[in-house]
Amino acid sequence: MPNVLVLLTGSIACFKACTLISRLVQAGVTVQTVATPAALRFVGTATLEGLSGRPVFTDVFEEGRALDHIALARAADLALVCPATANTINQLAAGIAGDPVGTLFLAWELESKPWWIAPAMNAWMWKHPATAASIATLKSWGVRVLDPVEGPHACGETGPGRLAEPELITAEILKTLGARPPSAASEM
């Protein structure tokens, strides 16, 4: 059974990540969720645990979980940061490990296992030179970027930066892992 890390960061698009998690579990994928403190302001641990059936990794200093960033990185077949905010993208490109996402990224075997990001942010944040440079850096390290789409944003503006639809992301993950998609009858 494939094992996927879904790492959530602080964006309103966290609600779409919940749909993604549900679809992956329905397809037989073991999903381990990881959430930054900012992500937990948009979606709670009870939701993530209910969807994945597993405790959420949220704090690298939690008692009994000091080495989870290593163990989770070794156990997973694929990691996906979804949604990936501009802040997280820039931190990853700078090698900053101030939260569970950053520590997992630095512990990840980039040359042998896929690490993906699915960005979600305001159009101007997506177009900003700092974000563009960080995306280029991450791609040069082998990180796959599931490009955001164009459309309306929660802020009321329109443009590129919307999170790709959960169905598209699910299909890409299942194709990469050689897993079967869930049937339409079992959808969330």
pLDDT digits (tens, 9 = 90+) for 74-87: 999 999 999 999 99
**Residues 97-117: what's their mean pLDDT?**
96
Residue 177 confidence (pLDDT) above 80: yes
**What structural domains and CATH numbers belong to the chain?**
11-182 (3.40.50.1950)
Percent of the chain with pLDDT over 90: 84
Mean pLDDT along residues 51-55: 97
Catalytic residues: 155
Q: Which residues of 13-44 are buried (b: 16+ CB within 10 A; e: fewer)?
A: bbebbbbbbbbbbbbebbbbbbbbebbbebbe
